[in-house]
Amino acid sequence: MLFPTFTFGVFFLFVALGHAVVRRSMAVWKPFMLVASFVFYGWFDWRLTALLAGSIVFNWALGIAIDANPNRPRDVVGIGVGVNLAVLAFFKYFLFFTESVTSLVGTRGPAIAILLPIGISFFTFQGISYLVDIHRQKLHHHNLLDVALYISFFPQLVAGPIVRATEFLPQIERRSIRSTVASGEAAWMIGQGLFKKVVVANYLAQYVVDPVYDAPNRASQLELITAFYAYAIQIYADFSGYTDIAIGIALLLGFDFPKNFDAPYRSLSITEFWRRWHMTLSRWLRDYLYIPLGGNRGGKLLTYRNLFLTMLLGGLWHGAQWNFVVWGAIHGGWLMLERLVGGFKFHPVLRWLTTFHVVGVAWVLFRAPTFEHAADVFRGLVTAEGGFSEVNWVAWGMIVAALLVQIVPRTQARTLLDRFARWDPLVQATALAGWILLITSLSPPGIQPFIYFQF
């Protein structure tokens, strides 16, 4: 079920009421929330719950084996990581690799349909972090119920943020869920997340981006230019909107999730961009891939190799298409270039423009279904007929407003949040209800799935 739907609203109403009743007893709260999380996940397709349960049991059992051995041998954790990645590779990449191989040898294999479990990349990464952190002695193994709740907790289950075991498990070791919650901050996060997704992302997708990318060779130059900038805003509003809602829901249930976005489009370098964009993935790739590869410990050439491989694999994580591999290569190559020259020294405005457009060019490959579509977009941006008399002022207003919001100082944004948080909870709820009514009136028809559900 999708967050901004009536179905989820009813589901969460029952979850919130149950949570309020049983939160004082973790012995009751944990199984209640686990059942709720499986209902949430099974709503997409009940068959997926078997894979989720299997992932939970496997990682729990192997965590015990790793923790029981005082030497914590690498081969045991290696088996755990390998099995997790093998399951992910089968469901997500089997067809990609078989089709790539058959195209190279010039043959066509039998058609095979494999159901892609929604959110498999996210709960797989959480399972890996649990095993590796036990191996690194950052935590000890936990009981099956705790591990199950950590991996399946519904607010972040299908699209993040990627919460680590060391961040989540200590929060359920308490005897009861805290009675006071940051309701003001939760309402703020949910409200802004809904606006980003339902109004901004859905409008740009339906009226600008999708029509252009479905047939780029029939779009005017202005439509292509608008779609170029609109997709950068759409994917940010869509993904950060989801994580805002997830963080807000977790707050209402008494949990603190890590921040996942920090005004990424104000970045002056690709290095800075990845410190601000999908921050939980960036940190995961750094700690569980880049550093194990050697990080920056082996000299410049090996550092460049490790950076490039990390981003290449990060691109492949996003999807089983060569487009994503090239997308990762663009980011990895630019990170290497920034390291090589020691950071670009020109004017900050020029650095911002360069960074934003490098990201934007890579987004074309991220969004285009094929290289041919991407080539048509790039070609049309330069050579297509103008069509400059038909400007979508709503789309451009959203694009400009979204970029301006990125430069609002953190202190000012925090001041507004703190003021809202001091309001009476009833006033906060009334304000949120009015905000949702406004969102409903401004939103285009229908709710599109979140972009990152496919990953």
Which residue type is seen at 446? Answer: G
CA-CA-CA-CA torsion sign (152, 58, 77, 134): positive
DSSP per-residue codes, 135-159? HTTSS----HHHHHHHHH-GGGTTT
Locate 422 and state its tokens: 């001091």
Contact 243, 261 (CB under 8 A): yes
Catalytic residue among 318, 347, 357, 373: 318
Locate 132 and state its tokens: 């590796």
- Catalytic site residue 141? no
User: How distant, in Å, are the alpha carbons of 168, 291, 300, 335 from that of 342?
Assistant: 37, 21, 12, 10
Contact 119, 453 (CB under 8 A): yes
- Cis bond upstream, residue 211 (ω within 30): no
CA–CA separation, 208 and 374 (whole Å): 16
Strands of 166-215, DSSP E: none
CA–CA separation, 70 and 299 (whole Å): 33
CA–CA separation, 429 and 187 (whole Å): 8
CA–CA separation, 285 and 353 (whole Å): 26
CA–CA separation, 269 and 354 (whole Å): 8
DSSP state of 264: G
CA–CA separation, 304 and 281 (whole Å): 20
CA–CA separation, 173 and 182 (whole Å): 20
| Helix intervals (H) in 297-370 | 300-318, 322-341, 348-367
Q: At what angle do helices 221-252 and 371-383 cross, to 10 degrees?
A: 130
Contacts of residue 198, Cβ cutoff 8 Å, sequence gap at least 6 = 4, 241, 439, 440, 443, 447
Locate 314 and state its tokens: 């990060």
CA-CA-CA-CA torsion sign (286, 292, 296, 297): positive
C-alpha 369: how far from its chain's center? 19
Which residue type is seen at 365? Answer: L
Just list the catalytic residues. Answer: 318
